């Protein structure tokens, strides 16, 4: 019995590790009939994407198992930063990721106009306001929006995770824009 249990556990661990390794890196994904080409920097000779790739393992869209923040809240904040940064790849990626969290399509599509919508909770609104302030580097708005996070119930850990998710999103936007990452139909 112990031997069967050990074999089963070994198989499960191997299977989980194999599945985790088969997911494409964030820099190599495509979406249905949409792919991406790089019109500027199309090499990685200095391994310049290593740091954001490692960072994404902790704070990116695929890291929800280890995060305390609500994945829906984190994903709409990432999507808003992608919109503000005009990152074509990021908007497509995070629209899809937001829908995959279970957010309803009308809410996802309304992220860019969240202030004029009654679809968002107070916590989501606070996260969106903070995402805008932090990504636009508006010192006055950063402070007031950060304080609002506490008022609507974000814990210190959630505030840190949200901050790091927003900053990581801005880094990826700039990496992909430097690369000239542009959507193309396959």
Q: What is the pLDDT of residues 99-141, one digit of tens each?
A: 999 999 999 999 999 999 999 999 999 999 999 999 999 899 9
Read off the tokens for 10: 């070994």
Give residue limits of the domains in the chain: 33-185
18 confidence band (pLDDT: 50, 70, 90): very low
Q: For a pLDDT cut of 90, what percent of the chain falls above it?
A: 54
* Span 28-44, average pLDDT: 74
Question: Would you call 181 helix, strand, or coil by DSSP?
Answer: strand
Q: Which two tokens stand for residue 22?
A: 């088969």
Q: How confident is the model at residue 6 (pLDDT cuts 50, 70, 90)?
A: very low
Please tell me the predicted confidence (pLDDT) of residue 97. Answer: 92
Task: Tell me, yes or no, if the pTM score tops 0.85.
Answer: no
Place of tokens 């869209």: 61
| Greater pLDDT, 123 or 18 | 123
CATH (one of 1.20.1290.10, 3.90.79.10, 1.10.274.10, 3.10.110.10) for 33-185: 1.20.1290.10
Give the number of other CB atoms < 10 A from CB of residue 43.
8
């Amino acid at each position: 019995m112990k031997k069967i249990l050990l074999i089963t556990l070994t198989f499960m661990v191997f299977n989980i590790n194999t599945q985790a390794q088969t997911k494409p890196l964030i820099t190599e994904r495509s979406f249905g009939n949409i792919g991406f080409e790089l019109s500027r920097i199309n090499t990685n000779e200095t391994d310049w994407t290593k740091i954001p790739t490692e960072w994404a393992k902790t704070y990116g869209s695929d890291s929800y198992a280890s995060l305390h923040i609500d994945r829906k809240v984190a994903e709409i904040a990432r999507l808003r930063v992608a919109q503000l940064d005009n990152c074509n790849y990021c908007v497509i990626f995070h629209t899809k990721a937001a829908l995959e969290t279970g957010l309803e399509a009308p809410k996802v599509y309304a992220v860019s106009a969240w202030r004029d919508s009654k679809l968002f909770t107070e916590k989501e609104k606070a996260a969106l306001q903070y995402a805008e302030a932090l990504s636009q580097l508006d010192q006055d708005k950063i402070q007031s929006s950060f304080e609002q996070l506490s008022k609507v119930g974000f814990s210190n850990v959630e505030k840190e995770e949200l901050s790091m998710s927003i900053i990581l999103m801005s880094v990826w936007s700039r990496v992909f824009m430097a690369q000239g990452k542009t959507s193309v139909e396959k």
